[in-house]
Amino acid sequence: EVFMFTRDTALKAKIIYTDSSFLSVFGIHLVSGNKHNCLSNPSSVIISETTAVKLFGNNWREQSILGETLDIDGRIPLIITGVFTDFPEQSHFTRHIFASSPTGYGNWLSDNSKVYTYVLLATHNKPDELDRKIKTTRLNTTDENRMEQISLQPVTRIHLFSSFEDENAQLGSINNIYALFLVSLFRIIITVSSFINL
């Protein structure tokens, strides 16, 4: 989490650093700003409508906040280039601020960073075949005794089925769903049996 400052307001929040293709891959709806270039410059940031209200008040639309400076931790100035509609509660993304990378932090790809890569496949590509090819590629890390493996995972399976560490989403568990289903089924069987006995 970082502290963000405008002229009159301070806010603590988490930021996702990304690139300009993010908007077209995930179909984010901008209510203000140009989708084609709002994350193209290294000092750009887009914020959700909720964040806009927190930083500039309920009448933020009347203030023309595009071009306003948002200071990150008091030392990294970002220019607000867009405002997007809040994600639904069940969305994969829960963040309200996206900044162009690599903004400010020179070592943003260090070992301590969490980098998530999303790939939009063409319709003729078969995910399973591509995954098999990708798994043959291994990445060297700074630790000579450790190798990293790349693997594909559909976004639609992340919430319930992901086994990766530090996912960029709130995770549930399919095992919990199965357990609840079995308990419900057991209760239905007991209820039906009791009714028949009566």
- State pLDDT tens for residues 91-135: 777 778 888 875 545 555 555 566 777 788 888 888 888 888 777
In whole angstroms, give the CA distance from residue 122 to residue 152.
14
H or E element: which one contains 178? helix 174-197
Query: What is the pLDDT at residue 47?
Result: 92
DSSP character at residue 29: P
Q: Is the pLDDT of residue 167 over 70?
A: no
Q: What is the mean pLDDT of residues 52-72?
A: 88
Contacts of 73 by beta carbon, 8 Å cutoff, 6+ apart: 2, 3
36 Rama class: left (phi>0) / alpha (psi -120 to 50) / beta: alpha
> pLDDT category, 81, cuts 50, 70, 90?
very high
In whole angstroms, give the CA distance from residue 94 to residue 66.
22
pLDDT greater at residue 120 or residue 163: 120
In whole angstroms, give the CA distance from residue 118 to residue 155.
9
> pLDDT category, 143, cuts 50, 70, 90?
low
Distance from the Cα of residue 64 to its chain's centroid: 26
Token output for 182: 């079995």
In whole angstroms, give the CA distance from residue 73 to residue 153.
34
Q: What is the mean pLDDT of residues 12-41?
A: 85
- Output the CA angle 54-56-57, nearest 5 degrees: 70
